[in-house]
Amino acid sequence: MVKLTGVYKGMRKGYGETLIELGKKYENLVVLDADLSGSTQTAMFAKEFPDRFFNAGVAEQNMIGMAAGLATTDKIVFASSFSMFASGRAWEIIRNLVAYPKLNVKIVATHAGITVGEDGASHQMCEDIAIMRAIPNMVVIAPTDYYHTKNVIRVIADYKGPVYVRMPRRDTEIIYENEEEATFEIGKGKVLVEGDDLTIIATGEEVPEALRAAEILKENGISAEIVEMATIKPIDEEIIKKSKDFVVTVEDHNIIGGLGGAVAEVIASNGLNKKLLRIGINDVFGRSGKADELLKYYGLDGESIAKRIMEEMKKE
């Protein structure tokens, strides 16, 4: 059972800790970073396994090229940087050297979305889901919390092929009691809360905000089903088909090409008679500010999400 705990912990910390666990399990696992290992938390692995850690420097394209080369020697490769650089600056190298030959490279990017905060628009990557899911052979994932991240990293280590994982900079609210509760399967969504009036499909750090919105809606007599959609590609079409007639997507990402776009494609392609409201970054660049203030400014906090949904339901 999930719940808002009021306890916050970084997904990237869960990533770093799990890399050490996997390093002990798999002798052929290697980790690369683009001179940001303190921020991405791969420094934990570097300290434990210095011979299997490679700092490519501020050269993300070279890092991905190195990762591809190592993958051809039967290595399980994790490569990390900020999402702006890992997915943006290195996109063509990822496409041609990793995804095209379907190499076993896991690109785990931190500092995704608007909540990078004071770093501002140049570092707020709100387009990475869109550009990464457009690449054939690429799996795209956004974990929910600290415990969930640990299971995501374990699962993708066993998956053969390219994967892109995005996670935020800030500590996020834990909604799972433990790792056993935080189950994850590639391509499968999960109903966290049953509801009758609408379905909210959320991904990443917006899942706790969706839960918060559901509580507010309940106080106003509205019953919301909450779906955690950690895998944006391949997306779980069946859970979307079973959703209520009013579907709301919530993401810390541009509504164009992200979770909202992916859900819209499923609804349209299957001729589903569903109303869709996409809540996210409305095709604008970010701005500097504290993470919580930015969530509210862009309408991504629980209160704003609930208010937007109630306004939309009044139109019917």
pLDDT at 83 over 80: yes
Q: Which amino acid is at 233?
A: K
Q: At 1, is the pLDDT very low, low, confident or very high (cuts 50, 70, 90)?
A: confident
pLDDT for the residue 35: 96
How many residues appear in the chain?
A: 316
pLDDT at 112 over 90: yes
Q: What is the mean pLDDT of residues 162-182?
A: 97
Per-residue pLDDT reduced to its tens digit, 126-146 = 999 999 999 999 999 999 999
Q: Which amino acid is at 193?
A: V
| Separation between Cα atoms, residue 199 and residue 276, nearest integer Å | 10
pLDDT at 235 over 80: yes
| Separation between Cα atoms, residue 267 and residue 248, nearest integer Å | 12
**Which residue, chain included where needed, has tokens 């164009």?**
256
pLDDT for the residue 315: 82
Any catalytic annotation for residue 60? yes
Q: What is the mean pLDDT of residues 265-293?
A: 97
| Separation between Cα atoms, residue 62 and residue 65, nearest integer Å | 5
Residue 103's contacts (CB-CB under 8 Å, 6 or more residues apart) are 67, 68, 71, 72, 77, 97, 161, 162
The pTM of this model reads 0.97
pLDDT for the residue 221: 97
pLDDT, the chain, mean: 97
Tokens (6 digits) for 213: 């919105």
Q: What is the mean pLDDT of residues 92-116?
A: 97
Give percent of the chain above pLDDT 90: 98
Q: What are phi and psi of 46, to 5 degrees?
A: -60, -40
Around Cβ 234, how many Cβ atoms within 10 Å?
14
| Separation between Cα atoms, residue 139 and residue 106, nearest integer Å | 9
Which is catalytic among the residues 17, 48, 60, 293? Answer: 60
pLDDT at 58 over 80: yes
33, 42 Cβ separation under 8 angstroms: yes
pLDDT for the residue 117: 87
| Separation between Cα atoms, residue 140 and residue 292, nearest integer Å | 25
pLDDT at 62 over 90: yes
Per-residue pLDDT reduced to its tens digit, 120-131 = 999 999 999 999
Q: What is the CA radius of gyration of the chain?
A: 19
How many CA within 13 A on the CB side of residue 178? Answer: 1
Q: What is the mean pLDDT of residues 152-181?
A: 97
The strand pairing partners of 8, in sequence order, are 173
Q: Which domains does the chain have, with CATH numbers?
A: 8-173 (3.40.50.970), 190-311 (3.40.50.920)
